[in-house]
Amino acid sequence: MKKKIFLAGMLVFLPSLVFAQEKIEVPVWNVGDKWVFTRGNIEVAGADQNSYIFNFSKDTAILENAGFERIVFEKSTLKRIYTLKGTRTEQYTQRQSRILNFPLYPGKQWQDTFWGTVLTGPWAYNWRNEYSESFIVLGWEDVQVRAGKFRAVKLEYKQKIINPQAPMYGVEGWSRYWYSPDAKYFVKCEYDKDFYSGEKGWELTSFQSKK
């Protein structure tokens, strides 16, 4: 009887143990940590008790830096909270503010929304678009990139463009990312070629972690 009770207890305990093993906590970055990709590089340029300052090289894919060369990340979740231009700080309100949203684990999902103005037509009419974002962690995969082979979680990001003046208008595209706890960042990215015309994916070629 005791053996049966023990086995039943183990069956209850094992799922939580597996979940704990799959759960990825927020990494610790240090000033000088650097990641080099087939498209640009990023580096931790500064840190304080609550945040990190990230430098993005000019040749980094614009889908990743949203056109900014310096972005401030919140330490507790790695959410993008500010942009830096010289000494001027502005709240980050662009795409993928929570592309990193720790802790990460298979099945985790979240959503965000941001707004942006685009110029269209020969008269440069301003369209105020709403961008709906959804994120889901699909699961673990072994991925081979130029920097080596990594165990990584695959994250799918979807963006849908909505125009309130044309409610029937709505197009959606995806990006897929592989995050490695060993590299402490994404090691690979693929873009929806039909949605992000002309954009090419990228992968990690090397990285260095300072202690």
Q: Is residue 129 part of a domain?
A: yes
Q: Which domain holds residue 116?
A: 24-206
Query: Does residue 134 contact residue 151 with C-beta atoms inside 8 Å?
Result: no
Structure tokens at 20: 């704990």
Report pLDDT for 8.
Answer: 43
What domain count does the chain have?
1
Report pLDDT for 87.
Answer: 82
Q: Is residue 168 part of a domain?
A: yes
Q: Is residue 6 part of a domain?
A: no
Q: Is residue 157 part of a domain?
A: yes
Q: Is the pLDDT of residue 187 over 90?
A: yes
Specify the CATH number for the domain of residue 111: 2.40.360
d(CA 132, CA 27): 27
Question: Which of 16-30, 108-122, 144-158 reaches the highest mean pLDDT?
Answer: 144-158
Q: Is residue 9 part of a domain?
A: no
d(CA 152, CA 182): 9
DSSP per-residue codes, 119-173:
EETTTTEEEEEEEEEEEEEEEEEEEEETTEEEEEEEEEEEEEEEETTEEEEEEEE
Mean pLDDT, range 64-68, rounded to an integer: 92
d(CA 125, CA 137): 38
pLDDT tens digit sequence for 1-29: 545 444 444 444 434 333 445 899 999 99
d(CA 43, CA 194): 31
Report pLDDT for 125.
Answer: 54
Report pLDDT for 164.
Answer: 63
The SS3 assignment for 10 reads helix
pLDDT tens digit sequence for 47-60: 999 999 999 999 99
Structure tokens at 19: 């979940």
d(CA 187, CA 100): 13
Q: Is residue 160 part of a domain?
A: yes
pLDDT tens digit sequence for 90-105: 999 999 999 999 999 9
d(CA 185, CA 134): 20
Q: Flag the least confident range among 50-64, 83-97, 109-123, 152-166.
A: 109-123
Q: Is the pLDDT of residue 180 over 90?
A: yes
